[in-house]
Each structure stands twice: as C-alpha cells, then as structure tokens.
Structure 1
Amino acid sequence: MADMLSYRPKTGDIPTNPGVYRFRDATARILYVGKAKNLRARLTSYFAPLEKLHERTRRMVTSAASVEWTVVRTEFEALQLEFTWIKEFEPPFNIQFRDDKSYPYLALTLGEKVPRVLITRNHKIPNARYFGPYTKTWAIRETLDLILPVFPMRSCSDGIYKKAEAAKRPCLLGDIGRCAAPCAGRVTPEEHRSIALDLSAFMSGKNDGHLKQLKQKMFDASENQDYEGAAKYRDNIAALETVASKSSVVLPEEVDADVFGLARDELSAAVQQFIVRGGRVRGVRSWTVDIALDVEDGELVDNMLRVAYETEDSPPRDVIVPLIPDDEDAVRDWLTEIRRERTSDPRAARVKLRVASRGDLAALAATVEKNAKQALMLFKTRRSADYISRSKALAELEIALGLPASPLRIECFDVSHLSGTRIVASMVVFEDGLAKKSDYRKFAIPEARDDTDAMHQVLSRRLAYLTGAVQDPEAPRFSGEIDPVAEGEIVTTVPKKKSFAYPPGLLIVDGGQPQVNAAQRALAEAGLGHIPLVGLAKRLEEVWVAGESYPIILPRNSEGLFLLQQVRDEAHRFAISFQRTSRKRDINTVLNDIPGLGPTRIKKLLSHFGSVTVLKNATVEEIASLSGINHALATTIKDALKA
C-alpha cells in the first residue's frame, strides 16, 4: 500500500542529517512542516503501509503530492527553522494555537525622548517595555491610578503633549500631581526618564529599594516636623504596597519564572502560562489549539513555547513545563538565544527548562495545570453553546454522513461495566446541538455476554417505545379521561409529544464496527432500519456508518466531529455516574444489613477503608481501631462480609 504514494523518495536519497521537511499538495501549498534529528528515520515513518499509519497522519500523506527537506547543522537550527516556517506558512496540519483574545499590557515607551506610560494591546511598539498581560483593562487603570502619584510620568497622547508643550502649560494631570509635566519644563527630559526607569524597576518586582527610600524620607520629614511631606510619603508607600499586594506572593522574591500548564483531549488542547516576576504572579495567558495530527505531548510543549515567545517577550531564567520535550537541548539553546537577544546582554544567564517536582514551584505548577483543564472545559462549553457553530456542525454531519436532513435530535448510547459485572447503560439526547437532559435515560442490564450483546439489549428496549410496544413510564398518559369536576363527562385533551416516542434523526453508539453492527441488528428487528446510525470509536475518533466496511474520517477541526465527540463524552459521563450511584447504593445495602451499624458508622467505615472490598480484606483489629466500633462489632462486620 505504501506504493500508492507516488511521490515517495528513495530511502537512500534521504540524508541522515538533522533538518526540516515540508509536505506540499498538488498546488504547492505547504501542508505540514516538521523537524528531525535524522531526516531519513523520520520521513521513512510517514511512508509505512497506510493501514499502519494513524488516521490523521494517513490523511495528511495522502493529501500531499510531494515532500522536500532542508538539511541544517544541528537540531537547534532545525528547531529555529521549523518555528520560522510554521509562523510564515501556517500549514493546516500543524498545531494551530489560537490566543483566546488580545490581552492588554502596561507599556513604557522608553524608545521615545520623553517616555510615556499607556495601556495597549499592540505588542510591537519599538523599544517599549511591557508589563502583563492583564486579564482586564480596568485592572491596569486601577494600577495606574495608584502609581502615577508616586511615579508622575507622562500618560497623555502625543497630540495633547505637543499642544501643552507649545503652550508651555501642563494639562490637568500635571496640575493635580499625576504627571511631572516635562511639557511645561517642570522637569528635564533626563529627569523624566529617570522617573520612567524607576517605574519600570518597580513594575519588574524590584520594590524593596524604593519602598525603603520612601520610608526613610517619611521618617526624615517627620523628624523635621514636615508633617505634610511625611503624609505624602506615607500615602505613596500605601499606594505602592497596595499595587504590590495585588499579585500574590507565591515564591521567594528572587524567583523569575514562566510556569506552563497543558490539558488536552483527542481534538483540542489548552495552555496556561503564569508569568512570575520577583516572586509574584504578574500575568496570565491562555491558548487553545486544534490538534490536526496525532501529536505527542512533547511536540505540544515545543509549539507552546514557540507561541509564548514568538513576540517580544523575553524568557526568564526558569521555564517550568509539564514535561520535557525530546529535543530538550535544542529548545533550551533557542530560549537562551532569545533571552540574550531581547535583553541585549550576550552574557545573560542560560535558560533552565525543567519540570517542577517539589516545593512552591510544584504547587504553582499544579495550579496552572488546573487552570488549563478549566480553560479547556470552558473552550468546549463556549464552542458548543455558539449557535453558528452548532448549525455548522449539524450541516457538516448531514453532508458527511449522507443524512436526508440535519439531525435535529441526536441520541447516543454507552455501556459501562466493571469487568463484566454491574452492567449499566445510558442514553443522552441532544436537540439542535444542545443537551436535553430531561430526555436522558438510564438502563440497568441484568446480564450480557459482552459489550455488543449489552448494546443490542439497550437499543431493543429503547426502540420498543418507538414502535409502540412499550409506553414510556416517565411520559404523561393522555387519553379520554374522566374530568374530576364534571364527573361522567368525557373531555378531549391534546396530548403532548412523548419525548421517548420521538424518533431521532441520528443514533450514535460509543464504539466501533462491532457495536454498530449490534445496534443495526436491533434496528432491523424493530423494523426501524431507516433511522441513521453511526458509531464513534474513541481511539482514532473514527465514524463508523452502519453497513460500511471503512470508517469516515472527519477533519480534526470539524465542528461536526466536535459535536459527535461532545455527545459521546456526555453519554460516557452519564453512564459512569449511574454506575457509581448504583455501586454506592449496593455498598450501603450490604452494610445496612449488619446489626449494630447505623448511617454514622457506615460513613466512618467507608471514609476510612474507601470501599467494601478493602473492608473485607481488613482484619478484625484494623476494624476495631476505629472509634465507636468495639471488638465484638468488628467481628460481626467481618463475619457478615465473609458470608
């Protein structure tokens, strides 16, 4: 099958040097850019038999019409070139990060003769120094309101400054002490620049020196009975301490680090970056990514760092990542080079790329990871709630699956068990792309040979409500009923649509071809073979259609695939939740039957041992060690659980 790829180069023609390779389509558009320590070994893996390739990789190589490579001297140079080309060409099969939004920064335009402090989302002002990013613009304005009386530097626009300079009269900010008024000559440009540098040092976390100077000036003014001046210094100190306290101290003051967290599923990933300067969290950034190919977490880390530092941001001394990528040395060299270039210091300390394993940094890394997980969940929730995305998803499914109409009602089924025991199943319903929890159903399955038998049983029971053989016990009954007010008079009521008797536009089962075949058999037996049916296999996110020998592979960034995954995951969650509830109920039933055990002691036993299985394996002495349980009761518990 590998011969199907006519553009495959001869193995001996591919060099074994480090380099960067590019797959192109028939129009010469670059589809994918990758790097390799050994080009021959890496490219050969793409030309394995097609059936052995991951589905997403197979789709990329079959879409391509040619492959080319560029040899470089080191793996570090390969990393640099890969990042450059990904940024320039934006290949569709490479990881595509999307910043959730454009974050505001506090910027000092130190490249100007009279520097200015401003709030901006433009990260390309020449020779500017940035602080942030901040999540809210009002947070920066609040910070400016506190620090401008202490560091009275210019914050007006160029137009206002030139107008005041021509009139030799400051604006209102100069009159109220929030600007040193270099426009009116109250301070020289050099003195104003000194104020700007002091503000820059303060925002960089170098707070102690300035605060000590202000406190000393306050004490001196007080001793000289300059109480008005002392009060001004006191207010300035309070303002700076307030600004400093807005960033929680999580680490020693000498720590400068960027801490990254990563959360992913089969289709997307979320990244969180905490910016720590001077031991304080100075900013937070987040990204989301559509995963086009089957990529390892190490490659995600590579691309995460590329996005973080592709702007003017300078890497700190410590970069904390969730895991170390395979090309660790090359990434570290690249970060060090960027740090030295952007700090204009060729002797700047080498960047440390590491995983935090203990201490405060490890605790902060756990927090960042938690934020990444929440960001991923929020991204998926927002995407599913968007009307345009839902409409697009339904339209994509209609076309891709060959449905007669958009599947406005989707039902999905999942089977869950514990090593073949405690078999349960779930049915979830989505209407117009949104979950309709009032129509969810749970199924208890007494016995089944395997997953396919369980799926057949569940579908048969559900389809019985469509054929009218069984009535939904949760749906209200409507017929000609006796009116209790006017006894004997038959009234006519308009029956509401019974949700469980409403036919779906698409049935989904969690699983591959075997599960689909079992469900198809149930549909045929019920005489409902016209209802569209698909299965979603989790490992490769393949869409199996009833009666087809090969799955449908939807694009990784497809809204239709995202909806299918969302429905399947919700069915899995609902099934697991039902199983846990059933198991907990069964555990309480076992313990409730033991004489002498009430709710308080049962709760204490389960809290200490965790499960009945562990409790069964415990000795009488271990059970009796709990307060409130004596040796006799412990013996009774042990004997009852043995039975």
Structure 2
Amino acid sequence: MNLQTHQKTGALTRLKYLREKLSQVPQKPGVYLHKDLSGEILYVGKAKNLNARLKSYFTGIENHTPKTRALVAKITDFDIIVTETEYESLLLENNLIKHNQPNYNILLRDDKAYPYIKIDIQEKWPRVTIVRKRKKDGSLYFGPFTLSGQVMQLMNVINRFFPLVKCTPMVFKTVTRPCNYYDIKRCLGPCKLAVNTEEYREHLNNVIAILNSKSKDISKKIKDEMLRAADEMKFEKAALLRDQIKALEGLTINQSVTLDVDIEVDILGSYWNEELVTFHVTNIRDGKIVGGHSYIVKHLTEEPGEEGEIDNKKREQERILTSFICQYYQNKTIPEGILFENAKNVISNEHIKMVNEFLAHQKQQNLNKESNNLDIFYVKREEYVKNITNMNKNLILKLKDLTHHSNQNAENKFHEQIKMDENSNNMMMGLQSFLNLESLPMLIECFDISTFHGTETVASQVTFKNAKPLKSGYKKYIIKETGGNADDFASLREVIRRRFKDREHTKYPDLILIDGGTPQIREVGWVIKSLGLAKLNIVGIAKSRGENNFTSSQIINSFERLVIPKRDENGDILPEQEPETKILKQGSPEFKLVTQLRDEAHRFAITFHRQRRDKLSIKSVLLDVHGLGAKRRKKLIETYPNLKDLLSLSLAEVSEKTRIPLNIIQKIVDKLKEMKN
C-alpha cells in the first residue's frame, strides 16, 4: 500500500510529462530505467532504438496487455543511458538488473538450498570450505551442488588427499604447534612450520582443477609429478601423489558416463506459460553428467510492441531467454559449449551473435586472457557436434536424450511451482475473504516482542511476500524506551514508530499482523493513527490457550482468533472503539498463513533475545572474577571477542597473550563451564 499515489498529480498530467520527455530521447541503442514516484527503479530494459521503444510504452495504452498497463500506471519518470551498440546495451542492462534488482525484471536469484564449495584465494593459505550463500567477496565458488552426496564426496577427497589448511583464521593464529591434521599428513602445517608457498599453491591449483571437473587432465599431471618425485627419491611425496591419483579415479568411476566423447557442455531445457518460465541446466564435463539445477522465473511484465511489429510474443520469449542466459553465466565458469534447442525458433541470429559475444567476454574475464572463440552458444545440436568433432550420429542421439532430460526436469519444476503458487494464492485469498480486504495481502509484516522481566527487550519484524518468507524484509529492533521495565505497550509503540519513521521512502505492507489481542491492537491503532496512516490494514492474532473453569477438572480450550479494529466510513481506524474478534477455523488457508507468520516472528524474536542475553551474561561473568579489573577485562575481550573460545584454548597461551595471571584465567574458565552446565 502506497499512500502517496499517482492520483495526486493525475494520470493525464503524468503521461503528458513522460511524452514531453520522450521527445528528447535519441533514436539510438541504449538502456532505459523506469522509475516510480519515490524514485525507485521499477524496470530496466534495453533497446535498439530508445525513442521507438519508450514511445511504445506511453502511446496506445488501450492496446497494452494488463501486465504492461500495470507497469505503466506506476511509471512517473525514466532515465536513459545511450550506448554505441546493441551488444553494449545488453551488457549494461544485465549489470543494472543485477545491481538494482527491479521488481518487474526477470530476476535469477542464487539458490540457497544447495551448497557451494568456496576457496578464499585472498588468504595467505587458502582453505576449501562449504558455504550456503554465494557472495561477491573475491573468493572462488563452485556449485551449487545438487546431486545427493556429491559435495561431501568431493570434500572428503580434498580433505584426505590434499594437505591444505583446515583451521579457521582465528585458530590458525593462536595455535602453539601444528595440529593433528599435520600428524596424519593431511596438512603441511604452515601455521608453525616453514612451508614452500609454491608447493602449497600446486596442491591448491590441483583442487581447483578438480572442482572445475578437469579430473582427467589433473590425473595425468599428478602422475608425471609422482614419477618425478620417485626418481628424486622423495618417496613420501610420491606416496601422497599416488593416493591423490587413486582418489581421483574413484571420483571418475562414481560419475555416470553418458557420452563417448570427452566434451564440456551445458544443456539447457525450459518450460513456459504466460506467467511462469522454468529452466533446467544439465552440466556435462569430460563427457559425464556432473550436476544439474532448475530455476524459476516469474514473468511479471511485458514490453509493448513497437509500431509495425508483427510477433510481439516471440520477441518477449527472446527477451526472457536471453536475460536468463546472461544472468546465469555472469558469475559462472563458461563451458566450451552451451546447447539450448528450445531457443531454436525464438532467438534471432542477431541475438545469438550477441549472446556469443557476451559469453566470450565472460570467458575472457575468467581466464584473464583473450579468447577468439565466439562459437559457444548453439540452438541446433547438429551445428554443435559439427564444431567439436566430425559428425557423430551416436553423439547427436545422446544429446537429443539429454535435451529431453533437461526439458523434462524443467517441466517437473514448472508443475511443482504451479502447485506451490496455488497453495500460496489460496492462503492469501482465504485471508482476504476472512478480513474483507479490498486486495490480496501480498506483502504482510508481522511484529513480536520478546523480553524477560524487562531485560534485553527486543522486537522482530518478519515479512511474507506472496505467502512466503522474504528474508530481506526481516528486521531486529533493540527496544530502548522501556527503561528496563516489562512494558509490551511501550515496546509496540516504539517499534511501530521506528518502522514508519521514513514515510517518504518506505514501502507500505498490505497488512500488518501484531502478535497480541485487543489491548495490543488498540495501542498500535493509536500509534498508526497519530502517524497519519489510519488506512493501513492492521490485525492482531491472539494465541489459543487452555483455562480451568474452577468448577470441574476439564480444561477449556480457546481457539486462535484475529482481532480486527473498527473503521469509519472512510476506512480510517477507530482505536477508541472495541475491536471485533473472529475465530479462525483450524486448518483453513487463512489459519495456516497467519500462524506461520506469528510463529516465524516469535522464533526470530526469541532467537535474537537469547543472543543478547547470552552476550550480556557472559560479559557479566567477568565482573564476578576477583582480580580482573577494567583494563584486564578490556584486554581479554579485545583478544577474544567470543569468550567461549577460552574453553578450547591452552590457559598458558591465553595468559601469555593477555598478560593476565594464570590463576585468574582459570577462574574465568571455571565460570564459563558453570554457565555451560
């Protein structure tokens, strides 16, 4: 809900301004950025002719599709960036979409459900770790790994046979001797021993090659190195290299062979309807399937057809397929070939050339050297096979099967997502009907307070978009105005005021859910009204509870219920009046949605509260230790920010680093052990 709607200036005035600005737009290639009233970017698009493309938005609006009309209704301004070529506009469009994440663009988000293998090459002694989220931190990321057990199999081989550092930087800096990994030949021990950096880098480069699915090449390299070490009578090193070769052979055997030719190719499949597109990418390296993953793309808007354009639907498909390919490969290693047969009758030769230029540019950046090969992306398997080898009928048939496999996986993901979306829509429609809302509650925020006798009071805000958690909308609040008293009402007033203090740039939810009953919802109602937001939809959820009626041994159970404030004829909230209470039917769609929100807000709040209390209680332990003054406390916390680390460290080492007597360190550790128990 945006209280500052375009109606204030009028649709005609807005369109007149946009058309006047359009007259200054050149007929050149470039990128355009549509913006709303608050200046937020709604949509980023590229065009061969900026003037013609933008003109299609702001003229003939009655002929637009509903999706396009919905976007145009929100546009109050636009910016343009002129480029020399359409290819440059493709690059710029892709970077702007990645940076700004506009709501109406095709957005390919990283899947956090699958693990990545990370190597932080900026560390002096880089480690190999498993992470769930890919960040732009200069590290190398491999994955996501979707085949069951694949990532653990790789990590097992890497940890057992490649002697790289396993310890965290904190442990690495504080150890007094090489750990057990050194004793069992799984680490070279650079923490305390003089290790040749070239030798370490050699092992690291071999691991990187394995993660790039170059097991066959690296096996030959390691074998040559093993023979050389044996000739030089370096038998310990030769034995290590021999074990590495055996481990790599095991990896190769466990991968299912699918092709007779050692090729490196990604095979893309897709499934499509008017609202949703799903893609599946099958990764083949050295002629073996090494991974595959499905992606979901919501088709939220359509670019209007330009004057004289015949097939706008085909151009829309071309836009979405091209955008997916560019976003998918922007931060990934580019394979030698990419085959996407579903794009055969969709992507024009002109766009195929642009996509190939883009992929070659990305490959050049990854390899840090020039690449003259512009033939990476193919839409016909015969052309792909012809370019990599002599025409091989058997290979063409196997690629056909793999293309069918990718398309089938994309279709399965499509139907799975449709079912999930159907459940989400049912929950939102159920809640809309139950509360008699004018529109679907697509964006809901829920607030909860957590405290313990007034200490470390915190609040949580969780956000659901389309009935699913939107983690970017989660917020934590440390309550400051209660003065250490347990005051739920004061806490609620503070958190609501802080949430809506920046009214000019805030996004308003379709519904606010408060964990509380009649008193809490009336209190929030007063705050909302005082902020000039009386039309915001707010509702409270009161927990079910069991009560004795004092006349029998039976327990009376109340039901989950929503507390709905009264409103006047203009839709403004009336906090002075007793709100209405409606019982939720257990198991109904609206029941599922609001209880999920309430439970998630409670979990988020209680976790934050416990973290705050743990931190406070650990630090308060130091106040009770006789002989530990302010200076010593400060030195200890600076050296060991997480005091729990002291439990696993040598007391003598801690005493030496902090210059605190050993007997006092012993008292601190004893206190920490008491807390742990």
- 8 Å contact kept, 1:260–1:273: yes
Select 1:376's aligned residue among 414, 431, 435: 414
- 8 Å contact kept, 2:209–2:218: no
Map 1:158-169 to 2 at 5 A: 158-164=169-175, 167=176, 169=177
Give distance in 2, aligned partners of 1:237 and 1:20. 51
> 1:340: how far off?
1.3
Secondary structure of 1:179's aligned partner: coil
Question: Match for residue 578 of structure 1?
Answer: none
> 1:210: how far off?
4.5
Aligned residue identity for 1:189:
T
Aligned residue identity for 2:381:
S
Give distance in 1, aligned partners of 2:201 and 2:238. 25
Once the two structures are superposed, residues 41-85 of structure 1 have per-residue CA deviations (whole angstroms, 9 ceiling, x without a partner) of 323332443332212112222332334433221101211222232
Map 1:216-295 to 2 at 5 A: 236-251=244-259, 254-294=262-302
> 1:25: how far off?
2.8
Select 2:405's aligned residue among 342, 359, 367: 367
Give distance in 2, aligned partners of 1:257 and 1:275. 6
Give distance in 1, aligned partners of 2:53 and 2:319. 14
- 8 Å contact kept, 1:97–1:307: yes
Secondary structure of 1:64's aligned partner: coil
Aligned residue identity for 1:316:
P
- TM-score between the two structures when normalised by the length of structure 2: 0.52
- 8 Å contact kept, 1:218–1:234: yes
Once the two structures are superposed, residues 428-459 of structure 1 have per-residue CA deviations (whole angstroms, 9 ceiling, x without a partner) of xxxxx9xxxxxxxxxxxxxxxxxxxxxxxxxx
Select 1:70's aligned residue among 68, 81, 98: 81
Select 2:362's aligned residue among 320, 338, 343: 338
Give distance in 2, aligned partners of 1:210 and 1:66. 55
Q: Tell me: CA distance 1:396–1:87, structure 2 relative to 1, closer, same or farther (3 Å).
A: farther
Secondary structure of 1:118's aligned partner: strand
Aligned residue identity for 1:50:
I
Secondary structure of 1:96's aligned partner: coil
- 8 Å contact kept, 2:42–2:103: yes
Give distance in 2, aligned partners of 1:40 and 1:206. 48
> 1:401: how far off?
9.4
Give distance in 2, aligned partners of 1:396 and 1:291. 24
Once the two structures are superposed, residues 166-223 of structure 1 have per-residue CA deviations (whole angstroms, 9 ceiling, x without a partner) of x2x3222222222233334374222111111122223323333554577789999999
- 8 Å contact kept, 1:319–1:351: no
- 8 Å contact kept, 1:182–1:189: no
- 8 Å contact kept, 1:262–1:271: yes
Question: Match for residue 427 of structure 2?
Answer: 391
Q: Tell me: CA distance 1:351–1:119, structure 2 relative to 1, closer, same or farther (3 Å).
A: farther
> 1:235: how far off?
5.6
Map 1:589-628 to 2 at 5 A: none
> 1:233: how far off?
7.2
> 1:100: how far off?
4.2
Question: Match for residue 8 of structure 2?
Answer: none
- 8 Å contact kept, 2:363–2:371: no
Aligned residue identity for 2:337:
D
Aligned residue identity for 1:263:
Y
Aligned residue identity for 1:9:
R
Select 1:177's aligned residue among 181, 185, 193: 185
> 1:348: how far off?
5.9
Aligned residue identity for 2:71:
M
- 8 Å contact kept, 2:280–2:409: yes
Aligned residue identity for 2:258:
V
Question: Match for residue 593 of structure 1?
Answer: none
| Unpaired stretches in structure 2, ≥5 consecutive residues | 1-10, 304-315, 383-395, 440-466, 468-588, 591-677
Once the two structures are superposed, residues 247-292 of structure 1 have per-residue CA deviations (whole angstroms, 9 ceiling, x without a partner) of 3333466523333222222222222223333333333333212211
- 8 Å contact kept, 2:161–2:240: no
Question: Match for residue 320 of structure 1?
Answer: 339
> 1:36: how far off?
0.8
Select 1:18's aligned residue among 12, 25, 29: 29
> 1:118: how far off?
1.4
Aligned residue identity for 1:243:
L
Aligned residue identity for 1:393:
M
Once the two structures are superposed, residues 480-519 of structure 1 have per-residue CA deviations (whole angstroms, 9 ceiling, x without a partner) of xxxxxxxxxxxxxxxxxxxxxxxxxxxxxxxxxxxxxxxx
Q: Tell me: CA distance 1:117–1:101, structure 2 relative to 1, closer, same or farther (3 Å).
A: closer
Give distance in 2, aligned partners of 1:367 and 1:8. 47
- 8 Å contact kept, 2:18–2:76: no
Aligned residue identity for 1:392:
M
Aligned residue identity for 2:292:
V
Aligned residue identity for 1:382:
M
Secondary structure of 1:183's aligned partner: coil
Q: Tell me: CA distance 1:96–1:146, structure 2 relative to 1, closer, same or farther (3 Å).
A: closer
**Structure (1 or 2) with the larger CA radius of gyration:** 1
| Unpaired stretches in structure 1, ≥5 consecutive residues | 404-432, 434-558, 561-643
Secondary structure of 2:160's aligned partner: coil
> 1:371: how far off?
1.2
Aligned: 1:202 with 2:210: yes
Count of residue correspondences? 400
- 8 Å contact kept, 1:317–1:349: no
Secondary structure of 1:380's aligned partner: helix
Percent of counterpart pairs with the same letter?
Answer: 29
Secondary structure of 1:101's aligned partner: coil
- 8 Å contact kept, 1:182–1:192: no
Aligned residue identity for 2:207:
L
Give distance in 2, aligned partners of 1:25 and 1:232. 62
Question: Match for residue 49 of structure 2?
Answer: 38
Question: Match for residue 563 of structure 2?
Answer: none
- 8 Å contact kept, 1:107–1:128: yes
- 8 Å contact kept, 2:339–2:381: no
Aligned: 1:59 with 2:59: no
> 1:228: how far off?
11
Question: Match for residue 16 of structure 2?
Answer: 6
Q: Tell me: CA distance 1:188–1:366, structure 2 relative to 1, closer, same or farther (3 Å).
A: same
Secondary structure of 2:289's aligned partner: strand
Give distance in 1, aligned partners of 2:136 and 2:299. 32
- TM-score between the two structures when normalised by the length of structure 1: 0.54
Question: Match for residue 307 of structure 1?
Answer: 327
- 8 Å contact kept, 2:94–2:327: no
Give distance in 1, aligned partners of 2:281 and 2:329. 11
> 1:304: how far off?
0.9
Give distance in 2, aligned partners of 1:129 and 1:14. 42
